[in-house]
Structure 1
Amino acid sequence: MDTQVQAVIDHYHDLIRQERDKPRDPERQDRAHRFMAVGPETGQLLNTLVRSLDRPRILELGTSMGYSGIWLADAARASGGRVITMEQEAHKSEFAREMATKAGLADFIDFRVGDAVAMINDLDEGIDFVLLDLWKDLYVPCLEAFYPKLKPGAMIVADNMIRPGGENVQAYGRAVRAKEGMTSVLLPVGTGLELSRFRDQKHSDGAS
């Protein structure tokens, strides 16, 4: 990771600390204004996984303010890939674009705003890597949308599987493990990651 990217990552860490320490404003506790990001351990793992791929097509579901996208785009640049990131809130996507520009990574990210499931349905097949980090009630619908578009060997990382947990992420865990050609493991990294890998169905011996 070069110094330009590291400076942006450090700035994100400062912003996250400031939000954590400032007094709570009840009027800004809605979904549109909360600054949510995977932690640095998760970011580093995402970066490492993507760097192991060759020219990957990466799908990020839940841009938020762009923190995880920086980790993904840094790895995409190194591996010859590209990130498609989807977000419902336009102001979050714009902030993420500004930060990616400061990091020198904007050319490696395609920012899209709208309904995630609808936008996934519009994608062509050939997805190599997926990060699921949007509202948890969308995990299973998004899985159903992107599953037919996965390439053999594709990896899926779902965040917040241990904390805060809940029925929606449990439903996702069951659903992804039931998919043909899928292997999956729950990792105690950050707030809990479900790491899944899609194998060529012709060589699949069943899901785990």
Structure 2
Amino acid sequence: MDNRIQAVLDVYHDRINEERTQPRTEPPGGRDGGQDMRMRAVGPKTGELLNILARSLEAPRILEIGTSFGYSGIWLGEAARASGGRLITMEMHEYKSRYAQKMAAEAGLADFIDFQVGDAVALIEQLQGGVDFVLLDLWKDLYVPCLEAFYPKLNPGAIVVADNMIRPANTGVEAYARAIRAKPGISSVMLPVGSGLEISRLATAGE
């Protein structure tokens, strides 16, 4: 990571550490927007793995579903820049997307990221062209609806990563694991990295 990116990651890491050492209380607003200021970030180990996986692809079109405040987008944006690709990141709430855009600009990655605000499933359905890498990290009851929307758009060899497969325990992620493993051409494994990652890959022709 260059100095600009590392400086931005350091800011995020300070905020993540502060959040994780404070009592777990749900702020006003929560899912409906408003005042939900919790990062809920994937953390550095997961971020580094996402970066490595995305960098392994040639000029990938990367889709992040759940921008939040932009932490994982820094790792994916750097991978897009390094591999000649591009990141599309989707977020329901504009105030989170604005913060993520500010941090991406400070990291020198703004030219490699497209920020979209709106309903995830609707935005995915409107997306033109194929996708090579997906990070799924939003409200867990939306994992399966998002899967159904993006699966037809996956290019051969595409990689899909879903976060929070171990914690917090949730029926939405359990349904997602069953659903993606049932998709034609998909091989999938759950790794105990961070909060648990389901890493899936769509076969290429001839595999």
Q: For residues 1-208 of structure 1, what are the structure 2 equivalents within 5 Å?
A: 1-22=1-22, 27-28=27-28, 30-31=30-31, 32=33, 33=36, 34-200=38-204, 203=206
| 1:19 shift after superposition | 2.6
1:43 partner letter: G
**SS of match in other structure, 2:30:** coil
Unaligned ranges ≥5, structure 2: none
1:93 partner letter: S
Does the CA-based 8 Å contact 1:125-1:151 persist in structure 2? no
**C-alpha separation in 2, matches of 1:180 and 1:126:** 17
1:73 partner letter: G
Q: Percent identity?
A: 66
| TM superposition score normalised by structure 1 | 0.93
| 1:101 shift after superposition | 0.4
Residue by residue over 1:104-150, the C-alpha shift from the partner in whole angstroms, topping out at 9 and shown as x without a partner, is: 00111100000000000011231000000000010000000000000
**C-alpha separation in 2, matches of 1:174 and 1:26:** 29
Aligned residues: 203
Q: Compared with structure 1, are the counterparts of its residues 177 and 53 closer, same or farther at alpha carbon in structure 2 (3 Å cutoff)?
A: same
**SS of match in other structure, 1:131:** strand
1:45 partner letter: L
**C-alpha separation in 2, matches of 1:179 and 1:133:** 19
Greater mean alpha carbon deviation, residues 40-49 or residues 11-20: 11-20
**SS of match in other structure, 1:184:** strand
**RMSD in angstroms over aligned alpha carbons?**
1.5
**C-alpha separation in 2, matches of 1:47 and 1:81:** 12
1:132 partner letter: L
| TM superposition score normalised by structure 2 | 0.94
2:121 partner letter: V
Q: Compared with structure 1, are the counterparts of its residues 170 and 102 closer, same or farther at alpha carbon in structure 2 (3 Å cutoff)?
A: same
